[in-house]
Structure 1
Amino acid sequence: MKNASAALVTALALMPAAALADAIIGSWNIKHLGWNNDKAMAEVAHVAQHVDFLAVQELMDPAALAELEQAVEAESGESWSSMASDALGRSTYRESYGFLWRNSEVEYDRGAVVFLDSQDIFAREPYSAQFTVMDSGQQFVAATVHVTYGDGISDRLPEIEALADYWGWLEEVYPGTPRLLMGDFNLSPDHPGWAALRKLGATPTITEGATTLGTTNGVWSNLYDNIWHSERLNITDSGIIQFPDLLPGDHVAARDAVSDHAPIWLALGDAGMELMAFDGSAYEAANDAVYCIDLNEASAEQLAELPGVGPARAEQVIDMRPWDSVDELTRVSGLGDVSVRKIEDSGLVCL
């Protein structure tokens, strides 16, 4: 584990520990979560557990959100829940959205829904649901979107401008409940394209700094990620989690193995942020006890971790579902009695 910079140490000393009142709400584009891209899930989980509620963009497979939920439980030692949208997109490239929350701090209320985009403006329609902060009883609407990147800003502006209509739609669907519009907007909050949303009283939480990781160590680029909020929330603090400072390795390694975007957050009421360095021990200890690969639920990437399975046989396992016992894996081409015994003995598989 690398040493933190003097600036980070000073910042950590000044930050209050997470309080038991209210909650920390976050948003994170976790680059291609669910693709077979050697994602360092333990490190992702360590960063994610700094908040009590997280909106996730670039979710490529909802099974990966379930895996992250399990990893966050192992890292934090607490119970978490999650939900994901269907895959959204106009072509073969499709993404889902996800919500992940700490059960002791936040609970789901109602109304998980994908926006009905009658004008077909959004490449990936926003996703929303209503939640309650357990300690204070504060309700909030969490809405998340990943604005198309396109070939330039002109390709992004139609979606940005349509967010004003979406903001009004949220008020109709969840009347009287404060709204949080979270996501990767691919546009700085000071751009004139936000004028229509600002006129409706929406305000960006993050106005300084940068949230995308450059390809050079220590270089941060654009302020693309944000949380736009309505006025009826007691927001007491906010910030950007520059997570490479918390992880082993350097900025470039974190960009490749975790994400090219940093999480952003806001605090409601008395909640505070305490940044914690990662060494992996808490995750590994808990993971040994609780982690298993479910033959009927796991993704192809997870199944490929089983001894002797690999990517091709993982697809066969998925195609041949449901499974009633591990012994039935001998039906998979290339898996004999000896191979199945090794899978059983690994302790990784479950039903």
Structure 2
Amino acid sequence: MIWERLHCTCLLSGDMSNEYNGFLYDEMQGIALVSSTLLAMDKKQKPFTRRPCIATFKISGLDCSLVSVHLKATVLENEDIGRLQAEIDNIPNLIEAIRTALPGENNIILLGDFNLSPDTKDFDDLRNLGYLNCIADGVFTNISDANKKGSKTYDNIWISKQTKQVFTGQCDVVREGLSSPWIPKGWTWGGVVSDHCPVWAQFYTGRDLDTGDLKIGPKVNKFALTD
């Protein structure tokens, strides 16, 4: 059965909400997990409300570092917009922490809920580092029972300048098959599994274009922000 070859790495990233972050992957597709961990953070100063989950993978001939994030939501009246902007400003520091822990590894992919449209100036620092958002602004990634077409572009996949070279240009948002007769929908059934749609991007995995060489083994790299 295919389920025997599906694996998941999942770590607690938000203590208050018991929110977990991780990756589901299929070894039958030539994917091997090298290591996975949460970003190490000082207890007094938390650059992220929910700790980013960082995993290193070998995917056929491609080595890469995947970072799953869930940035701070702005809530009603955008009352937490300052906190969200601070977390976005810390993303370049997160990237530097990964590059410090993995010398020569330039295939870095950031993915998850960024809680802000990609074309906003808040992401200028990320763009200045050569990063590209795969999902374009205006391609909506949210969904609800009342609005199946969505209205926001919050979920995305940001890829480094080096990863662009193996990006096929193919990406999209999954909007079909997200409801179930077992999910409540008000006083009835048939609701959506989440208000976020899955997003995907396609990459060539036959070769690796950087000098990083991830080693398969039990060692887990520690990723921490520097002052």
TM range (shorter): 0.7 to 0.9
Question: Aligned with 1:259: secondary structure?
Answer: coil
Counterpart residue identity of residue 219, structure 1: K
Identity of aligned residues (%): 26
Is 1:96 the counterpart of 2:20? The answer is yes
Tell me the distance in 2 between the aligned counterparts of 1:165 and 1:207.
Answer: 24
Query: Which residue does the alignment assign to 2:131?
Result: 202
Tell me the distance in 2 between the aligned counterparts of 1:121 and 1:247.
Answer: 35
Tell me by how many angstroms 1:206 deviates.
0.7
Task: Give the direction of change, closer, same or farther, for the CA distance of 1:256–1:174 in structure 2 (3 Å limit).
Answer: farther
Which TM-score applies when normalising by structure 1? 0.49
Is 1:173 the counterpart of 2:101? The answer is yes
Query: Which residue does the alignment assign to 2:203?
Result: 268
Task: Give the direction of change, closer, same or farther, for the CA distance of 1:157–1:87 in structure 2 (3 Å limit).
Answer: closer
Tell me the distance in 1 between the aligned counterparts of 2:190 and 2:157.
Answer: 22
Aligned partners of 1:212 and 1:223 also within 8 Å: yes
Is 1:115 the counterpart of 2:39? The answer is yes
Which TM-score applies when normalising by structure 2? 0.74
Cα-to-partner distance string for 1:29-85 (whole Å, 9 max, x where unaligned): xxxxxxxxxxxxxxxxxxxxxxxxxxxxxxxxxxxxxxxxx9x82xxxx62111111
Tell me the distance in 1 between the aligned counterparts of 2:37 and 2:12.
Answer: 10
Tell me by how many angstroms 1:87 deviates.
4.4
Superposition pairs of residues 87-236 of structure 1, within 5 angstroms: 87-89=13-15, 91=16, 93-105=17-29, 106-110=31-35, 112-118=36-42, 119-134=45-60, 137-151=61-75, 152=78, 153-177=81-105, 178-208=107-137, 209-233=139-163, 234-236=166-168
Aligned partners of 1:107 and 1:132 also within 8 Å: yes
Tell me by how many angstroms 1:155 deviates.
3.1
Question: Aligned with 1:165: secondary structure?
Answer: helix
Tell me the distance in 2 between the aligned counterparts of 1:125 and 1:155.
Answer: 14
Q: CA RMSD in A?
A: 2.6
Q: Which structure 2 segments of 5+ residues have no match?
A: 207-227
Is 1:240 the counterpart of 2:168? The answer is no
Question: Aligned with 2:157: secondary structure?
Answer: strand
Aligned partners of 1:214 and 1:221 also within 8 Å: no
Task: Give the direction of change, closer, same or farther, for the CA distance of 1:123–1:232 in structure 2 (3 Å limit).
Answer: same
Tell me by how many angstroms 1:173 deviates.
1.6
Question: Aligned with 1:104: secondary structure?
Answer: helix
Aligned partners of 2:144 and 2:192 also within 8 Å: no
Aligned partners of 2:172 and 2:200 also within 8 Å: yes
Tell me by how many angstroms 1:247 deviates.
6.0
Question: Aligned with 2:28: secondary structure?
Answer: coil
Tell me by how many angstroms 1:238 deviates.
1.0
Question: Aligned with 1:256: secondary structure?
Answer: coil
Tell me by how many angstroms 1:132 deviates.
0.9
Q: Which structure 1 segments of 5+ residues have no match?
A: 1-69, 272-351
Q: Which structure features the higher share of helix residues?
A: 1
Task: Give the direction of change, closer, same or farther, for the CA distance of 1:155–1:174 in structure 2 (3 Å limit).
Answer: same
Q: Which structure features the higher share of strand residues?
A: 2
Tell me the distance in 1 between the aligned counterparts of 2:192 and 2:148.
Answer: 16
Counterpart residue identity of residue 47, structure 2: I
